[in-house]
Chains A and B, each alone.
Chain A
Amino acid sequence: MIQLISFLSIGALLLISLGFFVRRGQRAEGGSGALVQAKQALNTLQGGLLPSELVGRIFDRQDLEYVDSETSKEIRELFLEERKTIALSWVSRVRKQVLSLRSFHLGSARFYAQLSLRTEISLAVDFAALLFECRALQFFLYVRGPFAVPRMVGATAATATRVCKISEQSLAFLTPVYAVRVGEGATRPARS
Chain B
Amino acid sequence: MLSLIIWQAAILLEALLLYRGYRAKLFSRYPNFYIYVLSLFLSDGLLYWVYLFKPAAYQKWAWYPGFLILFLGCGILVEIFRHVLSHYAGVEKFARVGGFAVLGGVLCFAILYPIFGSSGSASHVLYVRLQRDFLMVQAILLFGLLQLVFYYGIFMGRNLKGMIFGFGQCVGTTLITLALHSYMGVRFEAASILIQQMSYLAALVIWVVALWSYCADPAPEATITGEGDYDVLVSKTRNMVGAANTELIKVNRL
Instruction: State the A residues within 8 Å of B (CB).
Output: 3-4, 7-8, 10-15, 17-18, 20-22, 24, 26-35, 98, 101, 103-117, 119-120, 123-124, 126-127, 129-130, 133-134, 136-137, 140, 149, 151-152, 155-156, 158-160, 162-163, 166-167, 169-170, 173-174, 177-178, 181, 189-192
Residues of chain B within 8 A (CB-CB) of A177 are 223-225
Contact partners of B136 in chain A: CB under 8 A = 7, 10
A151 to chain B, nearest CB (A): 5
* In the complex, residue of chain B having the shortest beta-carbon distance to the beta carbon of A17: B146
- A190-B237 contact given A4-B182, A159-B251, A162-B243, CB 8 Å threshold: no
Docked-complex contact B165 and A22, CB < 8 angstroms: yes
A107 to B91, CA, bound (A): 11
* Chain B minimum-CB-distance residue to A162: B243
Question: Which applies to chain A's interface (DSSP): helix, strand, loop or mixed?
Answer: helix
B interface: dominant SS: helix
Query: A-B pairs with CB below 8 Å: how many?
Result: 233
Q: A17-B143, A123-B241, A174-B223 are in contact. Are A192 and B168 (CB under 8 A)?
A: no
In the complex formed, the residue of B with least CB distance to A134 is B248
A and B contact pairs by CB, cutoff 8 A, 30 listed:
A3-B182, A4-B179, A4-B183, A7-B175, A7-B176, A7-B178, A8-B176, A13-B143, A15-B176, A21-B146, A21-B168, A33-B221, A101-B240, A108-B223, A109-B230, A110-B153, A116-B230, A117-B93, A119-B238, A126-B241, A130-B241, A155-B250, A156-B251, A159-B247, A170-B233, A173-B232, A174-B224, A177-B223, A177-B225, A192-B219
User: Which of B23-31, B40-48, B52-60, B81-89 touches A?
Assistant: B81-89
For residue A178, which residue of chain B has the nearest CB?
A: B223
- The smallest beta-carbon distance between A111 and chain B, in angstroms, is 5
State A126–B246 Cα separation when bound (angstroms).
11
A residues less than 8 Å from B230 (CB atoms): 109, 112, 114-116
B114 within 8 A of A: no
Give the residues in chain A near B87, CB-CB below 8 Å. Answer: 111, 192
Verify A127–B248 contact, CB threshold 8 A. Answer: no
Contact of B251 among A116, A137, A192 (CB under 8 A): A137
Give the total of B residues in contact with A, Cβ under 8 Å.
71
Decide: A115 near B89, CB < 8 A? Known: A32-B221, A106-B151, A127-B241.
Answer: yes
